Amino acid sequence: MASFTAFPIYPFLFLTISGCYLLHVPPLMASSLGVNYGQIANNLPSPDAAISLIKSLGVSKVKLYDASPQVLRAFANTGVEFVVGLGNEYLSKMRDPDNALQWVKTNVKAYLPQTKITCITIGNEVLTFNDSSLTSNLLPTMQSIYTALQNLGLEKQVSVTTAHSLAILETSYPPSSGAFRRDLKNCITAILNFHLKTGSPLLINAYPFFAYKANPKQVGLDYVLFQQNQGVLDPSTNLRYDNMLFAQIDAMHTALANLGFKRVCVQVSETGWPSKGDEDEVGASPENAKKYNGNLVKLVNEKRGTPLRPNMDLDVYIFALFNENLKPGPVSERNYGLFKPDGTPVYQIGGVTGKSGTGNVTGGTTSGGGSGGPSSSYESSSDGAPSGYLSISAASLSYGGGSSMLYLQGLLLCACMCWCLLSFSDMNSIFNCMPPKQYSAFEIKRVDEEENERMTESSKVWER
């Protein structure tokens, strides 16, 4: 343990500054990784049993696609944060303010604060179902649920959002050409205004597996599995992408910026790789699933943003905790789980529990087609997520490893700097240097200009 003898003066002030003042200094990144906890099965363990599995992964957040009373009660007083969901089938009913208020009382407020509910997702991939009734009810329901939270005084601790398939994009290659579908632009703009107003994130379901499955001869396996490869260069930005997921995320960032919403936060609510599939589901294997999810864990653990947004928080939710035997569709739909229903792992990913190895995950011989070599082109998912997905939950966790030590060292260094400042100044002068919490229109414009300069500079860093 380090000694404080090097600070003989004001030891109390040193501890006070390092423990309190530094709380105002945010970490450079706040990335987190999640894992979906789906329950479309008749052979899964009880929620009580799932607690130990989730904690064994180091998971501290769980996202539900409904508001299962059994799950929410089981996780009371565990410290696990929850996202609860309102299914597509309830949208028309819950746009009514009275119904929305009752739903929030029953499915959110009733479990607080014992169960930490932090977000509500309204529907799932609604805009790409091509159902005019669902689409027309989506935003009004989001607004009704948010109003209910306001009426109950919960809007500051519980946010409201919805998850989208990548199919809401009309173009995604190269990432700099990302644009929303023209027929959805008005609807999406209204939803983005809601996100901007309430501060909630935009959720996307991104599956590089589908792009590889659709065209294994052109999409490099290493490129989609986060393995070492020469990457793909975006000719417009000169940014190089060494994995498809980041290219998909940045295509969304570009689409948002083109509509004037680059301040809206993007989170990946679903991504994963199946361990088994039909004969035509190229690449579905335990080895590839281990590589995809294992390398994704390590990438998030590095707390590195995307090429276009190197300083952004990277929040990703892996699909899924369990294999789900009642899900419809191809074999892959029932084989995305990290665990079998009996609780045994489908494959081992040491990094999920916070253990960080070196290099890429290697799982053995890959199955399916594809050269596994560098990719010279980028293919976006045609679906964005499995069709008919009705999973119940997902989880998020923060990782330590070597980055935790670096962060601790940074805190100590900042504390030392604060102590030095105290030697030549008074406490008020330091706190007067704190940035204001509110910004004028001029200051916001200036921040945007600085962000553009940083993004331009970042392109040089990502070139290889």
Q: Looking at 81, 125, 281, 379, which residue is catalytic?
A: 125
The CA-based angle 303-451-246, given to 5 degrees, is: 40
Quick check: is 125 catalytic? yes
Six-digit token string for 55: 């904690």
Both tokens assigned to 252 = 């969304």
Radius of gyration of the chain (CA): 23
| Sign of the torsion formed by the C-alpha atoms of 31, 254, 160 and 183 | negative
Give the alpha-carbon dihedral of 178, 179, 184, 186, to 10 degrees: 130
Give the Å distances, CA to CA, from 115 to 78, 112, 391: 8, 5, 20
Q: Which of 270, 281, 324, 379 is an active site residue?
A: 270
Count of beta carbons in the 10 Å neighbourhood of residue 360: 16
Give, in degrees to the nearest 5, the angle at Cα 347 between 65 and 217.
Answer: 85
Count Cβ atoms within 10 A of the Cβ of residue 99 and give its class: 0-12 exposed, 13-18 middle, 19 or more buried: middle
Cβ(259)–Cβ(192) below 8 Å: yes
Closest to 357 in 3D by CA, of 314, 406, 294, 407: 294
Q: Which residues are catalytic?
A: 125, 270
